[in-house]
């Protein structure tokens, strides 16, 4: 099965101590590796204002992770753990590999077009030169 790419963001209550967040991260990482996935990147965005109230909080501690995995069961397990974890007030997983594939296709197409264009413009100039030479 092909590899999938996910973004996972979760928000903790703003008064959560840092070690607590690290503990959640550790359990998530362990769960991911158990399900044959791996954590590619972890970013702690820190406390940010929420756009709306979530469980009566106006602020939240954001943690952003990039995951790779092959089975959907990994996400199910991670989300279950996030649901159970007490300080977590919100989480979201987004599957991104298809969009990345689309993006790469677009980039490749543009590069091909760019590669073609310079060839097109010097061509008439070269034609003129040969005409002038003859």
Range 71-76 contact pairs with CB under 8 angstroms and sequence separation of 24 or more: 71/1, 71/35, 71/36, 71/37, 73/35, 74/31, 74/32, 74/35, 74/36, 74/37, 75/6
Please report, as ranges, the residues that interact with other proteins according to CB under 8 A: 7, 9, 11, 50-52, 54, 60, 64, 90, 92, 94, 99-100, 102-103, 106-107, 110
Residue 101 vs 122, nearer CB to other proteins: 101
What is the nearest approach in angstroms of other proteins to the Cβ of residue 126?
29
What is the nearest approach in angstroms of other proteins to the Cβ of residue 125?
27
What is the nearest approach in angstroms of other proteins to the Cβ of residue 93?
10
77 alpha-carbon distance from chain centroid: 19
| Widest Cα–Cα separation across the chain | 84
Residue 30 vs 101, nearer CB to other proteins: 101
């Amino acid at each position: 099965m092909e590899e999938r790419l996910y973004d996972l963001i979760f928000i903790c209550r703003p008064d959560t101590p840092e070690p607590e967040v690290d503990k959640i991260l550790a359990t998530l990482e362990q769960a991911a590796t158990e399900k044959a996935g791996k954590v590619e990147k972890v970013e702690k965005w820190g406390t940010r204002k929420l756009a709306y109230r979530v469980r009566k909080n106006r602020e939240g501690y954001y943690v952003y992770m990039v995951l790779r995995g092959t089975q959907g069961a990994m996400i199910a397990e991670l989300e279950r753990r996030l649901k159970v974890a007490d300080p977590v007030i919100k989480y979201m997983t987004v599957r991104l590999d298809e969009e990345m594939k689309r993006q790469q296709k677009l980039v490749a197409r543009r590069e091909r077009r760019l590669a073609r264009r310079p060839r097109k413009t010097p061509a008439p100039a070269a034609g003129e030169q040969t005409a002038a030479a003859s």
